[in-house]
Structure 1
């Protein structure tokens, strides 16, 4: 955007309009289930053509962020996460910020010493145990993600003292004086296995967004290795790039 709030020419106009709409959803200026302004109102605000507005909205509809309702207008779809890279948040925090009620179902929890790759990621000795917690995550009672988190044994024991169906891990850590400093996250696309599809209520082979996160404490000790597999139609990432 230019200094006057209007689109600049350096980036395609429809992309600027699209990014502004996403930002307003993220900042809860426009909330889930609410109708966005009309084409004429958006044309006047952004000082662009109807074609530009329709192109921006079309992409957001394809991305599953907006939904057109015949004879009514264009609405913000509920249950869609529009997350931002650069902020360390848990599932529940992101859900609440998006106006969605989060909940969980514990699938399994175990203490094991057999997962060498996970222990290596957490920089643990080969003979040390880790705690593995797997949960199905819900947004407004709709299953949206499968979460598998691995923790060093001392931290995992703290979590296992809680109700893992409702526990918010980062809050528990902070309550016990453990503060997360930063994290590294890798994002990739995969296809759902039959078991994953059954849990998420989708077709086998449907696209999932796989996110792998390693979180570090104040002493730069890796204390969390979590893999979350999201339904592609329930999670979107927005990334703001500057040049």
Structure 2
């Protein structure tokens, strides 16, 4: 409950409901508004204070210390350019690089024959020591021979593949919500069961062959997804669509 209240208050601060320097409601008011205990309110406010969003002054109340987010800027980068920017702005920790047989689902996505080797690379990207996202990537061994731990410390994975002659083409992407398991909670420094965003991206080359299957996991508390669609993409699946996994659909 305290985490849910924290998310609500955090989002209200970000949206300017409580401007910089203003007071958020007192404990009694928050207890009544959200029908929660005083302990729940205190834990939620403590989390806000730990992030530097509010400051509690004895006898005066809790004041907002962070200004609302600036208006959303237009996305000015294509996918590859944004990946390069992301690589430059974050520190990478290479957690695993291994050549092995891909799991059946990954092999199917990459159109690999049964038992064929693929390169598996797992990395953690951080900003000033704060974990931002975990990437779990698979590439066919035929184009991933130079994907090593040392290489990934110096270059982004897509740059290594481009040096191998890969020219990227179509990208299929799916976004879902997941709960943090023990491993992901430890890497991203969130609570067990905390809500996370997961992007699964299948990248092809210009010959329409799959060249990378990557899962990106992050917390919505520190990151967000930005899309900028041109007029031509509005009436295509490039604009995205919501797919409902109903019982009938799953059957």
TM-score range relative to shorter protein: 0.5 to 0.7
Is 2:169–2:204's contact at 8 Å kept on the other side of the alignment?
Answer: yes
The one of 204, 214, 219 equivalent to 1:231 is 219
What CA deviation, in whole Å up to 9, does each residue of 1:108-147 have, x standing for no partner?
Answer: 1111115111011001111311110011111232111111
Which residue does 1:192 correspond to in 2? 180
Give the distance between the partners of 1:87 and 1:60, measured in 2 at CA: 34
Unaligned stretches of 5+ residues in structure 2: 1-12, 21-47, 56-62, 235-251
The worse-fitting range, judged by mean Cα deviation, of 198-207 and 138-147 is 138-147
- The 1:231/1:149 distance shift into structure 2, 3 A limit, reads same
What residue is the counterpart of 2:164 in the other structure?
Answer: 176
The question of whether the paired residues in 2 share the 8 Å contact of 1:85 and 1:237 is answered with: no
Shift of 1:211: 0.3
Equivalent position of 1:89 in the other structure: 80
Structure-1-length-normalised TM-score: 0.62
Deviation at 1:227, TM superposition (A): 0.3
User: Taking structure 1 as reference, are residues 222 and 238 closer, same or farther at Cα in structure 2, changes over 3 Å only?
Assistant: same
Choose between structure 1 and 2: higher strand proportion.
1
Asked if the contact 1:88/1:182 (under 8 Å) is kept, the reply is no
Contact in 2 for aligned 1:95/1:102 (Cα 8 Å): yes
Q: Which residue of structure 2 aligns with residue 144 of structure 1? A: 132
Question: 1:154 aligns to what SS in structure 2?
Answer: helix
Question: SS of the counterpart of 1:57?
Answer: coil
Is the Cα contact below 8 Å between 1:83 and 1:94 reproduced in 2? no
Name the structure where helix makes up a greater proportion of residues: 2
Q: 1:240 to 1:227 in 2, by over 3 A?
A: same
Identify which range, 114-123 or 212-221, moves more after superposition: 114-123
CA contact 1:184–1:215 (8 Å) conserved in 2: yes
Rg larger in 1 or in 2?
A: 2
Aligned to 1:74: 67
- Determine which structure has greater relative contact order: mean sequence separation of CA pairs < 8 Å that are 6+ residues apart, divided by chain length: 1
CA contact (8 A) 1:68 1:74 kept: no
1:84-233 equivalence runs, <5 A: 87-89=78-80, 92-95=83-86, 101-160=89-148, 162-233=150-221
What corresponds to 1:37 in structure 2? none
**Unmatched runs of 5 consecutive residues or more in structure 1:** 1-53
Would you say how many aligned residue pairs link Structure 1 and Structure 2? Answer: 180
| CA drift at 1:90 | 7.1
1:57 aligned partner: 16
Cα distance in structure 2, aligned partners of 1:60 and 1:148 = 39
CA distance in 1, matches of 2:103, 2:19: 40
Preserved CA contact (<8 Å) 2:110 2:211? yes
CA gap of 1:170–1:240, structure 2 versus 1, over 3 A, is closer
CA distance in 2, matches of 1:85, 1:186: 21
Secondary structure of 1:165's aligned partner:
helix
